Structure 1
């Protein structure tokens, strides 16, 4: 207890352990109340007594009974009785907003996921351009489209683009996926790879192999799978030709002879 708490602690309320226990037993069963754990000073003439909670499922929790008294009065008044987690209590994890808990694949048909106006992943088109690799001629077209109110309102910011690239590269479309590690070739040399435009084209493309797991998805250039356009089977991997047919020449007469 600090020096300030000792000065503020009211001796009458601090000694009113029986009063606090009586108030607690009026609210909960005696079997749920353990030993007195001490008290804490909450303010001038305000003290909270703590009792161990022995209720099943509440290990480490404490009953808190707050008492007070008016100035120059000896009678102690009960303010509240509550159950609070102690230092070693098992409590629920910190709340995570629903928006931050969403994962790819969680959205269902009809679900809406609005993007905040100040989302750092997006910037106004007029400030960054529809494509940072555009030529000067296209920049002039962008200006005209802006004046006419055409085109997209916002595009990816550098932060949004980098976050997407990191997410893709570290995930299933990247080089560390099990299917990529077992692949004989990388996507950058596959004929089914559709090139992207813009800065992301340096690392990613889109798979167009209808037989591959990643068909229609973004893949890293150094990703890979067994559906590579140039993959060939070795002689050991090729299917074995069927055995030549056997013609049965045994007739009924031959069978009767046996």
Structure 2
């Protein structure tokens, strides 16, 4: 049929075209309901409307800038609901959530990963982990030079492992006294030819600490000590764990 510019009507003379009703959850009324819910909470006013997200057939989330002291970049999220075929809007949830520019707390880091070199102080205790790869009880895996094992390791339950020595050498090589430091790169001579360079020997009671959390890379006297000793005992538990009571367990009764 050719379009002659007229609007088709049904038998009763009513237009056959109808405007599709807008979803109630996206209406101005829905925005007003969400804003009023925030203001009624009285925990900070709702700022400008930032949009609607998580739009579904029966729910939608309205976002507002948060005018809350101490929470820059945060926003209010209000979840609205409306049943199918209804125009009655209800508030399901309301929350203050961080936006893209919000200042948030850093990710939680386990305690054992927070310790950094230099944190150990006088009187502090830092037990080595039971499964510390830097230590070993196997003489064949020890980093001590073979000819000195008998004299230096007889009174040590655990010894520095090859892994521990490798890690220490890597730190020292790349540290402030390593060959790539600014001082070394501009020096004309290396320490090995210097009279002040004292190669370590087992005949003197000094040694180099290889614990990165203690006197790492520093000459220490054999009689020096700190709380990060390899044999520092593990801390005592704060309490004992009680056995949970089994409610379903059969209890024999003598009659």
TM-score (norm 1): 0.53
Q: Which residue among 53, 69, 78 is the counterpart of 2:91?
A: 78
Q: 1:152 to 1:66 in 2, by over 3 A?
A: same
C-alpha contact (below 8 Å) 1:128/1:157 kept by paired residues: no
Q: Does 1:38 align with 2:42?
A: no
Q: Distance in 2 between matches of 1:71 and 1:115?
A: 63
TM-superposition CA deviations, 1:88-118 (whole Å, max 9, x none): 3343444444543433222122222233333
User: Is the CA contact 1:47–1:66 (under 8 Å) kept in the aligned structure 2?
Assistant: yes
Q: Which residue of 2 aligns with 1:21?
A: 35
Give the unaligned 5+ runs of structure 2: 1-22, 202-206, 209-214, 220-255
1:151 aligns with 2:152: no
2 CA distance for matches of 1:73 and 1:154?
Answer: 75
Q: How many residues align?
A: 183
Query: Whole-Å Cα distance in 2 between the matches of residues 108 and 65 of structure 1?
Result: 50
Distance 1:73 1:55, change over 3 A: same
Q: Secondary structure at the match of 2:146?
A: coil
Gaps in structure 1 of 5+ consecutive residues: 1-10, 198-204, 207-213, 219-258
- Greater RCO, CA 8 A, separation 6+: 2
State the alpha-carbon separation in 2 of the partners of residues 57 and 163 from structure 1: 44
Q: In 1, distance between residues paired with 2:127 and 2:59?
A: 48
Give the distance between the partners of 2:156 and 2:111, measured in 1 at CA: 31
SS for the counterpart of 2:77 is strand
Aligned residues: CA RMSD: 4.1
Q: Does 1:110 align with 2:123?
A: yes
* CA positional deviation for 1:177: 3.9
Give, in angstroms, the shift of residue 49 of structure 1: 1.3
1:190 counterpart (190, 194, 206): 194
Give me the whole-angstrom Cα distance separating, in 2, the residues matched to 1:50 and 1:116: 48
- What is the CA–CA distance in structure 2 between the aligned matches of 1:155 and 1:173, rounded to whole Å? 22
Deviation for aligned residue 1:28: 3.6
Provide the secondary structure at the position in 2 that maps to 1:39: strand
SS state at 1:195 partner: coil
* In structure 1, C-alpha distance between the alignment counterparts of 2:192 and 2:172, rounded to whole Å: 16
Determine helix, strand or coil for the equivalent of 1:37: strand
Question: 1:19-72 CA distances to partner (integer Å, 9 max, x unpaired)?
Answer: 211110112467x42221222228784432111224455443211112345788
**When the two structures are superposed, what TM-score results if normalisation uses the length of structure 2?**
0.54
Question: Are the counterparts in 2 of residues 60 and 90 from structure 1 also a CA contact under 8 Å?
Answer: yes
**What's the counterpart of residue 88 of structure 1?**
101
